Amino acid sequence: MPQKKILIVDTDVASRNFIARKLYDANYDVLQAGSGKEGLIGSWRDRPDLVIFDPVMADLKGEDFAAKLRNDPRTTHIPLIALSSDPSLARAHSCLDAGFNEYITKSGQAVSMLMDMLVRLLGLTEEAMKQGGLSIIFTSAKGGTGTSSMCANIAMNIAQNQPEARLVVLDLVLPIGSIAPIVGYDGALNIVSVADMPADATTPQFFHSSLPNMGIWRFNLLAGSPDPELSNHLNVGRIWDIVTALKASHDYVLIDIGRSLSKITLPLIQHADLAALLISTDISTISLTKTLLDYLISKGVNPNSIFTILNRAVGLEGLSKADAEKILGIRINAAMPYLGTNFAFANSHHQPFTLKFPNDTASLIFTETAREMSAQARRLRGE
């Protein structure tokens, strides 16, 4: 993906240069302007992908700057972030009403907030996500629903059903990855180390040739963060380049986010070919799932792209499939039987359930669910 161009407009040279260095480190192309009028000229001339503007300007108020950009067809859709030295709530409301997308007060937390906003505002586009391999996201509303185990096993079954396809699993569960312990990977290559590499090094060819192959699991793996401290250093601005390169080098990209729904992962769900939503049968999880489901739909996620999987991860107790469907208001696409200790046994031996227990009813369900998910993703892509 080409570098995103960001214009910083701030009279404070030290502040402007500090933000610019952070953006350069995150692989953004940076432009600078020292006044509001220069910012206007730069916006109209250079057409940046995003503008960061301190609304406390001597020559041009932030509200007037936003209005001028919003009223010009060349810049009406450019995202605007106010990075302001004015902490007042009234000023924040005034700027947002004028057309800024976000308002950040300059503080010790401003940079981390800014980087998160850039990820959200400059995230993967619909066009980018509909190119290359099919993307399937695995998520849940609550921990303990077996999301990562389901992701790894569905990935293996898709690969087994389609031996000609190249498949990769990306672990974006934070603060610590979940897939590596399941498949038995202990290598040094992971999402944090890859995100620290230069953008011109993480090409589709790199991912085609350098990712570890998980043997009997039949997929390549880009593992998650191996420890919580390391995840704090994840260069989130590189996620979109990495996902795009993975899609260019593989036929399927399965992304496990667990319950790590955030401004980083929401765009992935919004633009995925399919989102696998794991559901448990206890009433509290069903209630949280309903909240998550309503939220995703409110954010533009197509209900047809949500593939629900009922997984009795904790036992035979709980709601029936029909009861869960009634509460959720959506059809459950697949229901896994209670796997007892077998699932944990297969995981502890780093083996796919289908290979460890080939005659178990659940193995047939894994195989059929994988076929249905890949077929639905292809239909939604229009292939």
Provide mean pLDDT across the span 287-311: 92
pLDDT at 315 over 80: no
Domains in the chain, CATH or no CATH each: 5-121 (3.40.50.2300), 127-381 (3.40.50.300)
pLDDT for position 296? 93
Give the Cα separation of 351 and 215 in Å (integer): 10
Q: How buried is residue 189: exposed, middle or buried, by Cβ count under 10 Å (0-12/13-18/19+)? A: middle
- The pLDDT tens digits of the residues spanning 252-280 come to 999 999 998 887 788 889 889 999 999 98
Chain CA centroid to CA 108, Å: 26
| pTM (global) more than 0.85 | no
Q: What is the pLDDT of residue 261?
A: 86
Does the structure show a pLDDT above 60 at 358? yes
pLDDT at res. 378? 95
